Each structure stands twice: as structure tokens, then as C-alpha cells.
Amino acid sequence: MARLANTGLNKNLLILHFTVFIWGFTGILGALISISAVQLVWYRVLIATLSLFLYFKFNKTAFKVNRNTFLKLFFAGAIVGSHWILFFASIKLSTVPVTLVCLSSITLFTAILEPLINKTRISKLEIIAGLCIITGIVLIFKFETQYTKGIIAGLLSALCASLFSIFNAKQVKNHQAPVIAFYELMGAFFWASLYLLFTRGFNNAMLLRSADLGYLLLLGTICTSLAYVAGVSVMRELSAFRVALITNLEPVYGILMSFLFFGDINKMTTGFWVGALIVLSTIFLFPIAQTQIRKHNNR
């Protein structure tokens, strides 16, 4: 029985790592697409919602939910949309590496918010890990002052990501991951449309270049509908904090790809690398520390 449980856990960890790798590529696509952050997210969630709808129809999958669930997921879509808008805004206001490292603060936000929302005991180890990550981000903030607005947008994006991860960890226990993703993405599309409508964002700036269309199709299908469903599905076995911690590997993949595509390595100061090293070291050392503490407590 324990072996089956471990197999399931390892499978979910493998799926999550693959998903995070795909998410790491979204930053590259965001930098390559020429339209604004809000317009980019509008196209992204439109493509993702349509692709999931076609998936349900093709597989004859029931996806209806009751009114209460629909409203919860629909309004959660506002947080999902805000996360992506702030994420792409951060990239356009700074660089891909800066944005991805800021996104690592999701660990601290989740360590604090998950126990408060679920009314459980706060883990000291999780708080320490979160504080180490914040220390790294503060160092980046200090040395990368030309990217202040981008860093703030990146941190707010991480806060939104933490909130909907905690929310989805509860929802996935009662609903299938594709259904959750569909209604949240539908909500994100609605709220992004409403914002564009009131800010007169539906204008000539939304016209796409041929390259933009290809990037958006990749972003909306593989990097959004597929990756989002996979990211939600693993929460049946993994806690929101565990998911948040592994999600922090996104900077590793994203920064490496950023160097490959854009050569951003030349833009980064020593302060950035010290801060990034603290963040990434915390991510890798946390599971080791957690295992050692459990062994000590079981003696």
C-alpha cells in the first residue's frame, strides 16, 4: 500500500516538474509577443478556454457544475487573470530573469496564507524558507533599482499565484482538474475583456503579427490549457506549499532559456546573482531539511 502511495506521489512530482518546465517557457513567449500584457492575456485565455471546450466535446466529457461552484471558479478567474497580467507586465518592465526570481516569493506567501486560510498550524520551517527567499529578492531589489516597477509587478503576480493555488488545492478534491481550469480560464477571459472594454483596449494595438499568432497558439494550448490542467491535477496528492516550492524551479528553467534566447546574462549585476543563489539554494535545500526533521521527530 505504501509502495502504491509512493508511486502516485512520484508520478505527481514528475508531472509537476514537467509542468513547471513548460511554465518556464511562458516568460520567453511573453517577451517575444509584441502586444501589451493585458491584450496578451486576453488572447491567451481565449485560446486556452476554446481548446479545453473542444477537448470536452471531442472526448464527450461532462463539464457542467452547479451554480455555487461556477461562481467560485468564475471569480477565481479574476485572480488567475491578474496573476498572468502582472507576470507579463513585469517581464515587459524588467527582464525575464528578474520576473522569474520575483515569482519565487510565492513560497513565502503560501507558507503564511495557506495555514491562515485553512486554519492550520504555521510551519516554522516553511516560514524560514520563505524568509530566505524574500532575503534573496530584497538583494535583487536593492541592486536592480532600474527594474523597481517590474519587481513590484512580479511580487504581486506571485501573491495572486499563491491565492489561486491554495483555492485550487481545495477545489481539486471535489472536481476534475480540466473542469476547474475551464471555468477559471473562462472567468479570466471575462474579467480581462471587461478591463479592455472600459480602458478602450480593443483597438488597433490588438492586431497580431504572424509571429505573434504562432507564439500565442503555443502559449494558449501547451503552456496554458495543458499545463494548467496538469498543475491543478497534482494538488490531489501535493499540498499547495509543496506545489509552490517546486514551482520555484521555474526561474531555473526560465533563466536558462532566457540566456539562450536573449543573452540576458549581460544585463544582470552581482547583486542579482547573489539574491538568485539564495532563492534557488533555499528551494533545493528545503526538502532535505524537511526530511531530516521528520527523521529526527520519528526517533
Q: Going residue by residue through the chain, which has 299 residues, state the pLDDT in tens, using 9 for 90 and above.
A: 445 445 656 777 788 888 888 877 787 888 888 888 889 999 999 999 999 999 888 888 888 899 999 999 999 999 999 998 998 899 888 887 788 778 877 877 887 888 888 887 777 787 787 788 778 877 776 766 788 899 899 999 999 999 988 898 888 888 888 899 899 999 999 999 998 998 888 888 888 888 888 889 988 888 888 887 887 778 777 777 777 777 767 766 777 777 777 665 556 677 777 877 887 788 777 767 777 777 777 76
H helical segments located in 33-66: 37-59
Distance CA(226)–CA(214), nearest Å, equals 17
Torsion-angle region of residue 73: left (phi > 0), alpha (psi -120 to 50) or beta? alpha
Cβ(51)–Cβ(220) below 8 Å: yes
Distance CA(131)–CA(82), nearest Å, equals 24
pTM: 0.77
The crossing angle, in degrees rounded to 10, of helices 37-59 and 67-93 is 140
Q: Residue 285's CB: how many other CB atoms inside 10 A?
A: 12
CA of 285: how far to CAs of 61, 133, 274, in Å? 41, 12, 16
Distance CA(299)–CA(290), nearest Å, equals 15
Cβ(286)–Cβ(129) below 8 Å: yes
Cβ(185)–Cβ(77) below 8 Å: yes
Residue positions counted in the chain = 299
